[in-house]
Structure formats: structure tokens, C-alpha cells
Amino acid sequence: MQPIPQQPPPPQATIWATRPVAPSAQAMPAGEQTAPVPRRSAALNAALRRCQSDGSAGLVVAAAEWPQMAASLLEDVANTTGALVWRPSQGGFWLLGTNAGAARDTLALFESMGWPARLLLFPADLAVLDAALEEDAAPPAIPATATPGLIGIEDRAGGMHAASGHTLATIWRWQAGSPKLLAQRWMVEPGALPTPMGRDWAGHAHGLLASRLLHQAARRAWPAARKHRLPLLLDMPWMPPPKSLPSPPPAPPQRAVPDGCGHALVLPLAAATEAGAWAALAAAHGWQLAWAGLTPALAHLATPQRLPGRLFFADYSPLVATTVWPAPECLVLQGGEGRAALDFASQHGISLCSKVC
């Protein structure tokens, strides 16, 4: 790490505040041109000096999903211990210049929130900080805002080719040492209709594509790769129960699928407040129900005793593997084809949802 000057550099006068004044290379004598030294605040310089000079500690947090919340918690620690929260241009948050006890407590706090964090004990971890400072000195990247427009997204969804925006996934589980196919899920392809950041926009896009599936089902236009001997699961949008539903494809032969699972509508968990109405409507038209979007925090719902359904879809994560699921035979994990997920699933008789047949 370069020594930190004891006094902060005098502020440079800027006329155009959005454009920092850079020294002209032509104005410098030959041989004296050096890489521009990044301008750091006096507070950051003071915190870096503490990291260099005494046994202070720190923490580095990614918390990409909840950055403001993470920053707020770190600011609290910083205020009480005289530390600093540094936000480098490359993202993440660094708590610098606190004491080891506070850093450890904060680490425990962040782990309880499920945010990955790393404890920094200086001077041993100065190299980590150096690397981040070097990366921060690179020209800042302005977040790309060329997100697809929302205006007309409904028309774009309606204008997509019938075969795009959807995929046919396979529900399977390990049984007697070999994979056994249980059902197919005609599902919305994640990201097929890009939207700006935000769960609600993504949900709206998912709903638009799932509505197209429903329309195709009404026209009896089932996916070409459908296996007629397997039950078909159909992704549904989040919407109030409609007056009517299309009929499912012809029933598959009786098979040893979980609890006699038949053709099913896969509802987002948000629709669970109208589960009763959906169950009645689905049954009247020959469908069962399945639910998507289960998380460990709501694991208790993943059982037919709580929600009328045979299958419950959850995204795999290490937290999922440490959660007690009330009816593991009804659980279907998505996005977990690594060794850990496969082991967890086979150990508990859990099914997997995979695009690979």
C-alpha cells in the first residue's frame, strides 16, 4: 500500500462539478507524467492510516441485493466505533478502522442476515484492501441503464413467436440408483422478456408469458416435445381465479408419480391467498395444483396439509439444504444440479426440476 499523506490534498477547484478537472498531460514536463492518483476523501485517508498503523479491523460485505440496508447497518457500527464505511466504485461495502470485537459482532450480524461478509484483521489483510483500492482507482463504471423499455412490453410479449419464451423442463428424482422421470413442466423461460431491475416488473413479465401458455393450452397447442406418458405441469400467471380454464391434455397412464400427481397448474406462491378458489376451479377442469416460489422462510407451507397442491417448487440454495421441509416428497428443487443439491435431494427423496431430459 502506498503511504497515505498525513494531510489531505487541498480541494481542487472545479467549474463543471460533474466533470472532475484532470491535469493536462501536455502541460507536464516529459518524464514526469505519472498515472493519475485517485482522489480520496480525508476520512478515507484517515481510516486507511488506522488500518496501516495499528491493529484495527474491518469487514467487507457484498450484499448486492440489499445494499442500502447493509450500508445502514455498517454506518451504525462505524458511528459507534469511529470507523468508516467505504463504498468503492466496484460495489460492496468496507467497514474500515473499527476494532476486532466490533468487526466480529458485525460479521455475526451479517451472517444472520444471510449476507456473505469477510472479516479483515489488519495489518495481515492489508493486501486485500490494497487490491480493492487499486481496482477502485480504475475509471468508474457508470451503471448500464440501457435496460429494455417497459412501454409496450405487453405488445412485445404478445408478438413473440409461439415457441419462444417457454421451455419444457423435466421433473425427476433418484430412485433405486437411477433417475426416474415424474412429470414435465411447461414453464416460462426466466429472462425471456427482459425488464429493468425490480421484482414487480419481472413478475409482470413472467405473468405475460405465462398468460401466453394459458392461451396455447386453450388452443390445445401443447409443446411438441411433450411426453404423453407423463403428467404436464403448466406455469400460471399471478391473477385472480378466472371464470373458466382450458382442459388439460388427455390423462397420462397411471404411474407411480408422487401421490398420484396428475396434470397440474403451477401457481406462484403469491396466489396462495386464493388457494381455495383456485383448488375448486382447477379440480372442476381436471387439474391439480402445484406451487412455485417456496423459500426456507415459508417452508411450513410446502405440504398438502397447508396448501392444496401436490408439488412445491423451491430454488436450491445452501439454506434450503439446512431447512426442515415438512413433506420432502412433495418438494421439487430448481437450479440445483451441483453435487450438493443432488446429494441432498437423493438423501431426502426430493425431486429436481431440470431442463435436461
Binding residues (CB under 8 A) for another protein: these are 15-19, 65-66, 68-69, 71-73, 75, 109, 112-114, 141-146, 149-154, 198-201, 203-204, 207, 238-240, 268-270, 272-273, 276, 293-298, 300-301, 306-307
CB of 152 to another protein, least distance (A): 7
Nearer to another protein by Cβ, of 223 and 296: the residue is: 296
| CA dist., res. 53 & res. 9, Å (int) | 20
CB of 332 to another protein, least distance (A): 16
CB of 81 to another protein, least distance (A): 16
Nearer to another protein by Cβ, of 129 and 302: the residue is: 302
CB of 26 to another protein, least distance (A): 20
CB of 125 to another protein, least distance (A): 25
Nearer to another protein by Cβ, of 17 and 256: the residue is: 17
| CA dist., res. 318 & res. 327, Å (int) | 18
CB of 19 to another protein, least distance (A): 8
Nearer to another protein by Cβ, of 231 and 336: the residue is: 336
CB of 112 to another protein, least distance (A): 7
- What's the grid cell of residue 285? 377442469
CB of 282 to another protein, least distance (A): 18
Nearer to another protein by Cβ, of 207 and 248: the residue is: 207
Q: What is the 3-state secondary structure (H, E, C) of the chain?
A: CCCCCCCCCCCCCCCCCCCCCCCCHHHCCCCCCCCCCCCCCHHHHHHHHHHHHCCCEEEEECCCCCHHHHHHHHHHHHHHHCCEEECCCCCCEEEEEECHHHHHHHHHHHHHCCCCEEEEECCCCHHHHHHHHHHHHCCCCCCCCCCCCCCCHHHHHHHCCCCCCEEEEEEEEEECCEEEEEEEEEEECCCCCCCCCCHHHHHHHHHHHHHHHHHHHHCCCCCCCCCCCCCEEEECCCCCCCCCCCCCCCCCCCCCCHHHCCCEEEEEHHHHHHHHHHHHHHHHCCCEEEEEEECHHHHHHCCCCCCCCCEEEEECCHHHHCCCCCCHHHEEEECCCCHHHHHHHHHHCCEEEECCC
Nearer to another protein by Cβ, of 7 and 112: the residue is: 112
Nearer to another protein by Cβ, of 168 and 239: the residue is: 239
Nearer to another protein by Cβ, of 14 and 33: the residue is: 14
